[in-house]
Amino acid sequence: MVAEADAAPIDGWDFSWLDGRATEARPSWGYQRLLGERLARVDSALDLETGGGEVLDGCPTLPPLMVATESWPPNILRASARLRPRGVAVVSTSDLPFADDVFDLVSSRHPVTTPWPEIARVLRPGGTFFSQQVGPASVFELVEFFLGPQPLSTRESRSPSHAVAAASAAALEVVDLRSESLRTEFFDIGAVVYFLRKVIWMVPGFTVEQYLPKLRELHELIERDGPFVAYTTRFLIEAHLIE
């Protein structure tokens, strides 16, 4: 199981390899549906850290000017192949190399970081930032199994309250904020290996070789007690640029 998971491709943001091996409850609000509704109402939009373009491509209507950014080379290729036939400009960058006041809507699903001042700069007055983000201490049951107890500052680093403060400092008014804790289960050790290889910030620098003793320990735990249970945290944030 470990060898299979260690050899599996991890480009893109498609987790179908985990079907039948892990489950994660989804937030009740339905981010992709809500994003699609907003995209249908604007003339220009920017999707940050689009991954392989899976979420954006699932939206039925895109605006006349639709741009997506991505910085990881394997994802850029996937996003380009998926989105360019729909008229989306895919830009290889980790920055926002765009003029001021260009977009009606900026979106991002699970950004690693949120560049609030830059988002405000590229939004038109009254424009909207719409994002589903990873919340505090997400899947930390798994993180702390490998890394041990994490400091409070790390556990709370993705708190929604921090996002609200950063948005306000960038002249963005938060108009919607929701958060949920969602049950996640790993049914075998292969699922754990694949997840940690793909979501690289959970256990930074993770390799099978480095963590083989802990992987054996966790495998035995799953075999004895059943699925390893963790809790994913997510929050939805929508903010308007103050005119």
Confidence category of residue 6, pLDDT binned at 50, 70, 90: very high
Alpha helices per DSSP H over 21-63: 31-39, 54-57
**Element spanning 214, H or E:** helix 212-225
Confidence category of residue 72, pLDDT binned at 50, 70, 90: confident
Q: Is 9 helix (H, G, I), strand (E, B) or coil?
A: coil
DSSP character at residue 7: H
Distance between CA 50 and CA 70 in Å, rounded? 6
Average pLDDT of the residues in 179-190: 98
Would you say residue 12 has pLDDT above 80? no
DSSP character at residue 67: E
Tokens of 218: 């966790």
Q: What pLDDT, on a 0 to 100 scale, did the predictor assign at position 64?
A: 98
Q: Name the pTM for this structure.
A: 0.89
Total count of residues recorded for the chain: 243
Q: Could you tell me if 84 and 63 are in contact, meaning their C-beta atoms sit under 8 angstroms apart?
A: no
Q: What pLDDT, on a 0 to 100 scale, did the predictor assign at position 84?
A: 97
Average pLDDT of the residues in 123-149: 97
Q: What pLDDT, on a 0 to 100 scale, did the predictor assign at position 226?
A: 98
CATH homologous superfamily, domain 2-241: Vaccinia Virus protein VP39 (3.40.50.150)
Q: Is 31 helix (H, G, I), strand (E, B) or coil?
A: helix
Distance between CA 46 and CA 13 in Å, rounded? 18
Q: Could you tell me if 156 and 140 are in contact, meaning their C-beta atoms sit under 8 angstroms apart?
A: no
Distance between CA 67 and CA 238 in Å, rounded? 19
Would you say residue 13 has pLDDT above 90? no
